[in-house]
Structure 1
Amino acid sequence: MKRFKKQLKRMLISILSILFILFVIGALFINLSPEFGGTISKEHKERFTKSGNYKDGVFENIGGVKMSMGFGDYIKGIRGFFSPKPNTVPEKDIPVSKVDSVELANYQGPARFIWFGHSTFLLQIMGKNILLDPMLGPVPAPHPMLGGKRFSESLPIVIEKLPKIDMVILSHDHYDHLDYGSIIKLKDKVKVFFTPLGVGAHLTEWGVDTKSIVEMDWWEETFFKGVSLKCTPAQHFSGRGLTDRGKTLWSSWVLQIDSTNIFFSGDSGYGNHFKEIGDKYGPFDFAMMECGQYNRLWKEIHMMPEETAQAGLDVKANTIMPIHWGAFKLAMHSWTDPVVRVTQKARELNLPIITPKIGEFIYLGETSVYHEDWWENVN
């Protein structure tokens, strides 16, 4: 019996020692890894108190909407990732059209977009280059071992060959939208970063000059080099670490350039804010609408595909494009489920929708031509 107790004691000590070592490693990783970004300063918090969306030290959604997952739901979610449904990732690399760096740098033609997969776009309009949510890294996580790799080995163009960027617009600070490696490579060629409140703290931590950062609250407007920019609501959340949930704001964006009116949804669950945005700033020539990485367990913060189509109607979009899909597995649905379902619903609603390939030039005046079901040739 004494021998058994000694063995049990050694086993418990070993287990506790391992747990302690893992805790120390985790703490060091979080505190020393630059990927986690910056912390909110006292000056930031003072400004936040003036925001109607900031309460008890955190930002909140309109009406206080939160992701209502209980412990059992979290277990279901974890189980789903370890026993996923078929076809959650493509069987081979998805097609990517390559872009010539010289042609990009010298472009002076009509307004056009290039989609990089997920929610990343380069907009070229009126001689300006505007990047939206430039996540150009291979894994949406603070470390490659903590996330699944991109569905394609390559991008339309590597960061180093991108032209000078007039504006970078960020919707929130999650890893699949704000990528440390991308910002490090981009920061010296960007004139101004526009972010929701607090997100600039990450940028300054990564060496971006504070003079090159403009933080905005919902419904705030600014004007930069011919671009009228509006920060608009979204129904989501924020955070890059274990203790910073809700410490920074999340948003959608409205861009008005000359006579062109564009909406970028960022990440959002379905809510009345879409109609409010449409009534205030619509109609929109083009709307990039979140559609992917959803689950009924977290429906409050990510739309189902049918809701994406309805939200397109709510914002009064002339044409929508589903985004937040085609690059990473962050949910348990098949990788093609978002585009198939939203396309079907948009057609039922008589809402024009486009589904271009990654890297394909999307000319805003010719959006009726991008309807190829290219994903059917991947699996």
Structure 2
Amino acid sequence: MLLTIVIIVILIGVYVLFMKVYPVFGRRPSEGDIRRFSQSPQYAQNKFENPVPAMMNMSFRTTLGILRDMIKGSPNRRPKSPLPMERPQFNVNGDTSVTWFGHSASLLIIDGKALLLDPMFGRTPSPFPWIGKNRYSGGIPFEIAELPQIDAVILSHDHYDHLDYGSIMKIKHKVKRFFVPLGVGAHLIRWGVPAAKIEEHDWWEEISFEGLDLACTPANHFSGRSTNDRGATLWCSWVIKGESSSIFFSGDSGYTPHFKQIGDKYGPFDLTLMECGQYDERWADIHLMPEETVQAHLDVKGKVMMPIHWGAFTLAIHDWNDPVARAAKASETKGVKMVTPPIGQTIIIKGSDVQSYPKTNWWVQA
């Protein structure tokens, strides 16, 4: 009995030490941070919460069903061959442009400023990136060293498929500023990003940055990078407005009235980057179903929609191209203009003239 207790204590000690030493997990907010967060309307009972409770049906029976579905799998949960990629254009002058790198990672060039959105460039979204299957494209369509000087990295939350330790370590030296929701700055500071480069924001806070107007806006989701830090940091969407263009980046979210509130306050948007993928009816409160993606685009008063959060990793049970296929069908039904550039293709934002955007259903043949 005594030996068993000793072994359990040792295992717990090793686990606690590993959680503290392994940098990928990031860092929990300090006591001073927590006192600061207590002023946020989103913070209650020592954690951030959604105003619309995010109900996830995770009963024992449901969990068994999810495990069964994941083990059973589907031949189309991953593409049969690596997805096609194109070489991006890193020209920071001239027209507003956007380049999608798969999942939610994008480079936005607006008013001559280069903004990286949720730059996850790693092989797999995991605290142990050497485990698991590689991204669908096999990699990214450029060398990170080729990136231009980045004026700002904009993060939506701290999940591994959006905030990647390896990617931040490779780009941090060429980033002027990091804009993040409350609490996420602690991760970056642990990874060597100077605190002076980091701005943390709550929902509805507005920021002026080198001629751009940014706003940290709501999302219905959650956060966490380890076993005991759920809700320790905030999650959000972002409004990005320049002289020539207006962009909405949804982050991860379930469908709630916050999209209409954002549209009423900040719309219309020339382009929306809308979450579309990794969904399931069992967790529909924290991820948009494809038809909801289209409706959320309409709610924020978007002109052209680009679906994101798909095309890189298998994090749900649906077919890999089901998100874009369903979104395309819903867009046609509702008269929404949708663009689906291949990974790496740089597109110029040209208002609502969707005919001027390159558009191929490359995901049908992939």
- The interval holding the TM-score normalised by the smaller chain is over 0.9
Among residues 328, 335, 338, which one is paired with 1:343 in the alignment?
A: 328
Match of 1:353 among 338, 350, 353: 338
Per the alignment, residue 149 of structure 1 pairs with 134
Cα distance in 2 between the residues matched to 1:91 and 1:329:
13
Q: 2:86 aligns with which of 94, 97, 102?
A: 97
Cα separation, 2, equivalents of 1:334 and 1:81: 12
Instruction: Specify which of 355, 358, 366 is matched with residue 370 of structure 1.
Output: 358
CA distance in 2, matches of 1:24, 1:139: 28
Q: Structure 2-normalised TM-score? A: 0.94
Using the TM superposition, give the Cα deviation of residue 89 of structure 1 relative to its aligned residue in structure 2, in angstroms.
Answer: 0.4
Separation of aligned partners in 2, 1:125 and 1:373: 26
DSSP-derived class of the 1:318 partner: strand
In the TM superposition, residue 144 of structure 1 has moved relative to its aligned partner by: 2.6
Whether the 8 Å contact between 2:96 and 2:244 is mirrored in structure 1 is no
- In 2, the alpha carbon distance for the partners of 1:23 and 1:52 equals 35
**Percent same amino acid at aligned positions?**
50
Deviates more, 1:225-234 or 1:138-147: 138-147
Contact in 1 for aligned 2:122/2:129 (Cα 8 Å): no
Q: Which residue of 2 aligns with 1:76?
A: 65
Partner Cα distance (1:221, 1:355) in 2 = 30
Q: How many residues align?
A: 362
Aligned residue for 1:130, secondary structure, equals strand
Displacement after TM superposition at 1:260 (Å):
1.3
SS of residue paired to 2:76: coil
The SS at the match of 2:215 is: strand
Task: Select the structure that is richer in helix.
Answer: 1
Amino acid at match of 2:236: S
C-alpha contact 1:98 1:155 (8 A) present in aligned 2: no
Q: Distance in 2 between matches of 1:201 and 1:96?
A: 34
User: Do the aligned residues in 1 keep the contact of 2:278 with 2:310 (CA within 8 Å)?
Assistant: yes
Q: Spell out structure 1 runs of 4+ moving beyond 6 A.
A: 16-22
Q: 1:83 to 1:19 in 2, by over 3 A?
A: farther
Give yes or no for contact 2:207–2:215 (8 Å, CA) kept in 1. Answer: yes
Say which of 215, 237, 245 aligns to 1:252: 237
2:272 to 263, 287, 291: 287
Name the CA shift for 1:259/1:98 in 2 (closer, same or farther; >3 Å): closer
Residues 1-379 of structure 1 aligned to structure 2 (within 5 Å): 26-99=15-88, 104=90, 106-365=91-350, 367-368=354-355, 369-378=357-366
Q: Distance in 2 between matches of 1:17 and 1:323?
A: 49
The one-letter amino acid of 2:61's match is G
Question: Which letter maps to 1:375?
Answer: W
- For structure 2, the 5+ residue unaligned runs are none
8 Å contact from structure 1 (residues 94, 151) kept in 2: yes
RMSD between aligned alpha carbons?
1.9
1:147 Cα deviation from its structure 2 partner: 3.8
Between Structure 1 and Structure 2, whose CA radius of gyration is higher?
A: 1
- Deviation, 1:275, is 0.6
Q: 1:351 to 1:204 in 2, by over 3 A?
A: same
Letter of the 1:150 counterpart = R
